[in-house]
């Protein structure tokens, strides 16, 4: 997901060609207070421009209630695919946002952003608060400030891992990296912390510069080695089933049903197979 300040039309227009899966039109931190109303008024046109080449378009809304309500309504009426609910307070906050989104012409996703210690203690309830919740995200810099911690400290990684567990339990996506990406010029660091997040079950992450879109895409995509392993596992499982065997080994390691399911998911992440339904 690529963040774009919603008050800068040239950035909004360029974002459509950045190759991101989703463009996040930011009405919050990157927009000066004096320009927030104008950015909101242009939101419908900005949503159309950002999504012109097929990317989903989300809107990060402001936290103060007097700004949050018009932001959410503008996002809904402007045709956004969802919102990032900045500085989420708890599950009730999510439910109230979902009520406002009922005016949208189609269902919209909510991605609560956890940015305080108090909200982190409610993250499991936030993840399960409403069917509109599609994923979770931690605002690392804000949470670090609330904790009086360094953004690179292990306590932020601990918080993000807890969020990932809450997301998995609720059946939604976890987004983010296991480390700060404030220095967007250090692509190698971003790659490392993104790959660490992928190993922990995260589905993707956000960035503030188009140059990092391919870095994140590569980091969260299955590697050729992972795809080869997945193909070998599924082939071996098919052969075992055909011969009536319940146990098998691949690359010298025991394979059982959970491993087979992971192999299916690796291929599904590349669009090579469709994940089986849960029926």
Q: Is residue 74 part of a domain?
A: yes
Residues 39 and 165 in one domain: yes
The predicted-structure confidence for 153-206, as pLDDT tens digits, reads as follows 999 999 999 999 999 999 999 999 999 888 889 999 999 999 999 999 999 999
Question: What is the Cβ-side half-sphere exposure of residue 88, based on CA atoms within 13 angstroms?
Answer: 34
DSSP assignments along 97-141, one per residue: HHHHGGGSSS--EEEEEE-SHHHHTTHHHHHTS-TTB-EEEE-HH
Residues 94 and 230 in one domain: no
Residues 189 and 87 in one domain: yes
Domain count, the chain: 2
Rounded CA Rg of the chain: 20
Residues 99 and 188 in one domain: yes
Q: Is residue 152 part of a domain?
A: yes
The predicted-structure confidence for 197-251, as pLDDT tens digits, reads as follows 999 999 999 999 999 999 999 999 988 998 898 899 999 888 888 888 777 889 8
Residues 95 and 203 in one domain: yes
Residue indicated by tokens 């660490």: 196
Which range of residues forms the domain containing residue 250? 224-269
| pTM of the complete model beyond 0.85 | yes
Residues 210 and 230 in one domain: no
Residues 123 and 53 in one domain: yes
Residues 145 and 186 in one domain: yes
Residues 75 and 187 in one domain: yes
Backbone angles phi, psi at 30, to 5 degrees: -85, 0
Asked if 137 contacts 175 with a C-beta cutoff of 8 angstroms, the reply is: yes
Residues 262 and 159 in one domain: no
Residues 214 and 231 in one domain: no
Residues 192 and 209 in one domain: yes
Q: Is residue 59 part of a domain?
A: yes
The predicted-structure confidence for 7-65, as pLDDT tens digits, reads as follows 999 999 999 999 999 999 999 999 999 999 999 999 999 999 999 999 999 999 999 99
Q: What is the pLDDT of residue 276?
A: 39
Q: What string of H, E and C letters represents the secondary structure of 67-102?
A: HHHHHHHHHHHCCCCEEEECCCCCHHHHHHHHHHHH
Q: What is the pLDDT of residue 271?
A: 67
């Amino acid at each position: 997901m690529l963040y774009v300040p919603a008050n800068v039309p040239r950035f909004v227009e360029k974002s459509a060609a950045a190759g991101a899966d989703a463009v996040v039109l930011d009405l919050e931190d990157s927009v000066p207070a004096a320009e927030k109303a104008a950015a909101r008024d242009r939101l419908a046109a900005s949503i159309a421009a950002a999504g012109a080449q097929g990317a989903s378009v989300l809107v990060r809304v402001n936290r103060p209630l007097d700004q949050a309500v018009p932001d959410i309504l503008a996002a809904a009426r402007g045709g956004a695919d969802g919102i990032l609910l900045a500085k989420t307070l708890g599950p009730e906050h999510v439910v109230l946002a979902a009520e406002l989104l009922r005016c949208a012409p189609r269902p919209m996703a909510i991605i609560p952003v956890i940015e305080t210690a108090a909200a982190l203690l409610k993250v499991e309830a936030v993840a399960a608060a409403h069917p509109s919740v599609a994923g979770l995200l931690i605002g690392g810099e804000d949470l670090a400030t609330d904790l009086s911690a360094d953004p690179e400290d292990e306590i932020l990684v601990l918080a993000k891992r807890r969020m990932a567990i809450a997301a998995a339990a609720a059946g939604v996506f976890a987004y983010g990296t296991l480390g700060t990406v404030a220095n967007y010029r250090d692509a190698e660091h971003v790659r490392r912390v993104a790959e660490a997040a992928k190993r922990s079950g995260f589905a993707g992450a956000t960035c503030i510069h188009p140059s990092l879109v391919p870095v994140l895409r590569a980091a969260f995509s299955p590697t050729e080695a992972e795809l080869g392993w997945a193909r070998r596992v599924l082939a071996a499982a098919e052969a075992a089933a055909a011969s009536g065997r319940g146990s098998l080994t691949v690359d010298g390691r025991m394979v059982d049903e959970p491993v087979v399911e992971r192999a299916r998911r690796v291929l599904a992440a590349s669009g090579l197979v469709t994940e089986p339904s849960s029926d």
